[in-house]
Structure 1
Amino acid sequence: MGILVSLPKNGDEEKNYQVNWGNPFGLQVEMRAPFLPSEWHKQSGVQLTWPHAGTDWAHMLKEVQECFTAIAREIAKKELLLIVAPDIDTVKAQISNRVNMENVRFFECETNDTWARDHGAITLIDGSTPRLLDFCFNGWGQKFVAGLDNQITRKAYDAKCFKAEYANHLNFVLEGGSIESDGFGTLLTTSTCLLAPNRNDTMNKVEIEERLRSVFHMQQVLWLDHGYLAGDDTDSHVDTLARLCPNNTIAYVKCIDPDDEHFEELQKMEEQLCTFRTLKGEPYRLLALPMADCIIENTERLPATYANFLIINKAVLYPTYNQPKNDAEAAAVLAEAFPDSEIIGIDCRALIKQHGSLHCVTMQYPEGVIK
């Protein structure tokens, strides 16, 4: 275990370090700035981009707004909540009697959709000043219109919603759901997504990895080459398949039904996860999440996944699908991965009807970022 401390450098500059107390022969000190924090790093709050009649949710607006309200309620119990919407008065009327409004902040602007994980800023910590990295969101490879969503971060920064510096990376397509950081120099991602056409197709794998290492100050990038979910629009975002957790742990989706279309690919993914090593050369502790039972909507299988959980301060919010056995098993696995956190299930059957889930509609910001 360890704690974050600040140590002086050259007498006048402070840097963040991780001090680990597990070595009885002395302290291990690792420089931690600049770095891409893990999701379990202490947070100031979470962004939700609210569904409205101008989004693809129009035909099921009340249903999905109920789901968003449930998510908002749990987040606002623990930390700040930033809600982005074109009409904040309408949102206030929906949530004011059900959510701790003292912890809610609003930013009014036009939006295309609701997937804050992919159009929200990715925050880099550099000493005492967080940096909002604003990457290009192009609708998962130009599948969907995203011009308004791609402007949200800059507009919110200009409106002084954040206490941070702004860094323009709009010349590189990157979605928050496509990467996972452990906060210590390891990035987990999928080759299917980051090498997909119509994202950064002028760059090869080596060039993209060099970009990730440079921008995020990573020591290694772990590429998952297998795994997918039927009905997924993201080209296999890692947050639908495998998630980095504390103590060198990876929680991942496991399929045990040989007749399921995902069985072979997820078996190969599990085999590859077994080959991954930490920066110290040790294998990861692997915790298997259940595969959700098949959910069909209009003859199409929906991408229900328990890997799409959100880590907040002292809690983990995870999606449920009205599958009591699987929902309970997923909760038990997450309790093992996060023994000091409250595990809270939220019915996300509405979200998967638009091919996403709980993590996809949220973006967390580290301590001190949201005003």
Structure 2
Amino acid sequence: MKERVLPAEWAAQQATVLVWPRSGGDWGNGLDAARDAIAEFAAVLCDYQPVILAAADAECRASIAAHRLLADLAPLSVVDVANDDIWARDTGPITVFDDGARRFLDFRFDGWGGQFEASRDDAFTAALHATGVLGDCPIERHEITLEGGSIESNGAGAVLTTERCLLQGRRNADFDRERAIAALADALGVETVHWLTQGDLIGDDTDGHIDTLARFVAADTIAYQGCRDPQDAHHDALAAMAKELDALRDARGRPYRLVELPLPSPVHDPEDGHRLPAGYANFLIANGCVVIPAFDDPADDDAHEIIAGLFPDRDIRRVDSRALIRQHGGLHCAAMQIPAELPR
């Protein structure tokens, strides 16, 4: 029987997949700012590893070619792949290893439970693979609905997820906890599933993606989104989540080391004023660096210091994420790592 492993994000990477915001999407008058944010993100990542940037159409290609940060940027590869939106974490390939051989998994994507048009995003992984930019490793289609932002792997057989996302019935109506665990074990090689029932960020429209709340930063360590202000609407739910995390035990019965991240001051949509799901757990780990969101907030410095302590051998780079958070996403949501093939 093959051993299947879902690697941790800090494993060696071949590239990062990003998607260029398209003019026909939901960005409205925030399109230029979103493009600037993705360009800055790509430029930072290219200091450490290749970036694959998906362009939906000719206008996207032209705007990429004209962008001041992307001109002659290496190692950047621009590929033509149709898409609905930029959130590659949820539409891109989830990579596993079968006895050391890399395999790309293509799960069904339905627009976060049917909230948004998603036909092109559902086809995104297969279309990206067909370009050849990922290499010749096989692709495996799964008809269950699963988004990369809803699972967090420690690389040692454990994943974190939320009941709200996987079990509420919006995506896979027939899933109960037992069926969900079986599906994760079959597709991802998961041995332990840690379920969170508490914690949420106001404005999140993913039904509680774990990558906005709690992240493995080592096999035995979890960084989580905290809130120290008792007057903040997040306080009680995030405190309850911290208690759930404290009660978790690994496969050998040991508690995880927990590290709290600060919460930035409330960020509101400039048009209608609703609160946006800004937080620091939505960072991205890449080769030699961790890219963290910034919100022009004093807590940016605190988050930087904490995350630097968790990754002493990696550079900590900041990217202003206020343009992306307007569409309720962030850096991690916008990127999917492609793990490097293992030495043979």
Provide the TM-score with structure 1 as the length reference. 0.87
Amino acid corresponding to residue 290 of structure 2 in structure 1: V
Question: What secondary structure does 1:101 align onto?
Answer: coil
Shift of the 355–285 alpha-carbon distance from structure 1 to 2, 3 Å rule, reads: same
Q: Is the 8 A contact 1:73 1:99 kept in 2?
A: no
> Structure 2 CA distance, aligned partners of 1:337 and 1:128?
27
Give the residue type in structure 2 aligned to 1:74.
V
The structure-2 alpha-carbon separation of the partners of 1:125 and 1:91, relative to structure 1 and needing over 3 Å to count, comes to: farther
Deviation at 1:105?
1.4
Q: Within 1, Cα distance between the matches of 2:266 and 2:68?
A: 35
- What is the deviation of 1:96? 6.3
2:45 to 68, 75, 91: 75
Alpha-carbon distance in structure 1 between the residues aligned to 2:50 and 2:106: 21
Q: Is the 8 Å Cα contact of residues 40 and 69 (structure 2) preserved in structure 1?
A: no
The answer for the alignment partner of 2:292 in structure 1 is: 318
Aligned residue in 2 for 1:350: 323
From 33, 52, 59, give the equivalent of 2:29. Answer: 59
Q: Aligned partner of 2:214: which letter? A: A
* Contact 1:249–1:337 (Cα < 8 Å) also in 2: no
Counterpart selection for 2:129 from 144, 150, 157:
157
Q: Secondary structure in 2 aligned to 1:189? A: strand
Conserved in 2, the CA contact under 8 Å of 1:73 and 1:100?
Answer: no
Following TM superposition, by how much is the alpha carbon of 1:210 offset from its aligned partner in structure 2, in angstroms? 1.3
Amino acid at match of 1:188: L
Q: How has the CA–CA distance of structure 1 residues 110 and 212 changed in structure 2, closer, same or farther, with 3 Å as cutoff? A: same
Distance, in Å, in 2 between the alignment partners of 1:102 and 1:368 is 21
CA distance in 2, matches of 1:343, 1:97: 20
Mapped partners of 2:144, 2:178: distance in 1: 15
Matches within 5 A, 1:84-99: 84-86=54-56, 87=58, 89-95=61-67, 98=70
Query: Residue 234 of structure 1 corresponds to which residue in structure 2?
Result: 206
What per-residue deviation string (whole Å, max 9, x for no partner) do you get for residues 217-245 of structure 1?
12210001100010001001000000001
Q: 1 CA distance for matches of 2:121 and 2:252?
A: 39
Which letter maps to 1:249?
A: T
- Structure with greater strand share of residues: 1
C-alpha separation between the residues in 1 aligned to 2:335 and 2:67? 17
Residue 106 of structure 1 aligns with which residue? 78
The 5-angstrom pairing of residues 197-346 of structure 1 reads: 197-297=169-269, 298-323=272-297, 325-346=298-319
Q: Distance in 2 between matches of 1:196 and 1:363?
A: 25
Please provide the CA RMSD for this pair.
1.6
Percent identical pairs in the alignment equals: 38
Structure-1 residue corresponding to 2:11: 41
Deviations 1:243-275 (A, max 9, x none): 001151100011111111111111110001001
2:134 aligned with 1:134, yes or no? Answer: no
Alignment partners' CA distance in 2, 1:154 and 1:312: 23
Describe the SS at the equivalent of 1:300: coil
Q: For the residues of structure 1 that align with 2:132 and 2:96, how far apart are their CA atoms?
A: 18
Distance 2:98 2:17 in 1: 21
Deviates more, 1:100-109 or 1:48-57: 100-109
My pick for the range that moved more, 199-208 or 304-313, is: 199-208
Letter in 1 for 2:129: Y
Bigger drift between 37-46 and 107-116 goes to: 107-116
Q: Counterpart of 1:366?
A: 339
Amino acid at match of 2:18: L
Amino acid at match of 1:104: L
Per-residue deviation, residues 254-297 of structure 1 (Å, max 9, x unmatched): 11111111111111100010011122221111110001111122
Which has the higher relative contact order, 1 or 2, with Cα contacts under 8 A spaced 6 or more apart?
2
Aligned partners of 1:268 and 1:128: how far apart in 2?
A: 38
Query: Is the CA contact 2:64–2:70 (under 8 Å) kept in the aligned structure 1?
Result: no
Listed as ranges, the gaps of 5+ residues in structure 2 are none
2:309 aligned partner, one-letter code: E
**Number of matched residues?**
336
Query: Which residue identity does 1:66 align to in structure 2?
Result: D
Structure 1: 5+ residue stretches without partners = 1-14, 16-32
Aligned residue number for residue 190 of structure 1: 162
The 2-side partners of 1:97 and 1:276 are apart by: 43
TM-score (norm: length of structure 2): 0.94
Return closer, same or farther for 1:247/1:158 CA change in 2, 3 Å cut-off: closer
The answer to whether 1:168 aligns with 2:141 is yes
Contact 2:169 2:175 in 1 (8 A): no
